């Protein structure tokens, strides 16, 4: 019998101005082997929410086969999107309810990419408090900020 690997994916996004230059970062830990991967990147003109989404997307893109993934993020936007909003948006053809009408989902291309990646894995979302001393969240924040500060 084979078991799907289990990984912890810690993510964060940062932005200088909103919109402005931004960075994303993740730390991924394979629980059985203890192996860790850190990655970060930046975009010139982006928002904090876009960088939060990009961090999770980039982390999931690393995985080459089905995994049980626990995503740790301080982003309520990402967490609620994954657990509450996406099923409703998909049902409404990627539109969100605003009053009595439906409006296009903001950052829809990123949400759709995330949806495709989530479908390949078993995902659990865990919220961490930002800037509270959580070691991996602090590391991701450091990497994300450095990514946009050091941009060429």
What residues are annotated to the active site?
A: 12-13, 52, 74, 131, 141
β-bridge mates for residue 95, sequence order:
104
Instruction: Mark 51-81 as b/e (b = at least 16 C-beta within 10 Å).
Output: bbbbbbbbbbeebeeebebbbbbbbebbbeb
Give me the phi and psi of 135, to 5 degrees please.
-55, -45
What's the number of CA atoms in the CB half-sphere (13 Å) around residue 62? 20
Tokens of 142: 């450091």
Say if CB 8 and CB 59 are below 8 A apart: no
């Amino acid at each position: 019998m084979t078991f799907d690997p289990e990984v912890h994916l810690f993510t964060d996004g940062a932005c200088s101005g909103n919109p402005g230059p931004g960075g994303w970062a993740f730390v991924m830990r394979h629980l059985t082997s203890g192996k860790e991967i850190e990655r970060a990147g930046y975009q010139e003109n982006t928002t904090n929410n876009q960088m939060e989404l990009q961090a999770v997307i980039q982390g999931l893109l690393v995985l080459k086969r089905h995994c049980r993934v626990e995503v740790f993020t301080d982003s309520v936007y990402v967490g609620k999107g994954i657990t509450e909003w996406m099923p409703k948006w998909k049902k409404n053809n990627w539109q969100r309810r605003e009053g009595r009408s439906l409006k296009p989902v903001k950052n829809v291309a990123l949400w759709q990419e995330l949806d495709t990646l989530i479908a390949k894995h078993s995902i659990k979302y865990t919220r961490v408090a930002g800037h509270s001393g959580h070691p991996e969240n602090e590391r991701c924040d450091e990497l994300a900020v450095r990514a946009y500060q050091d941009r060429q």
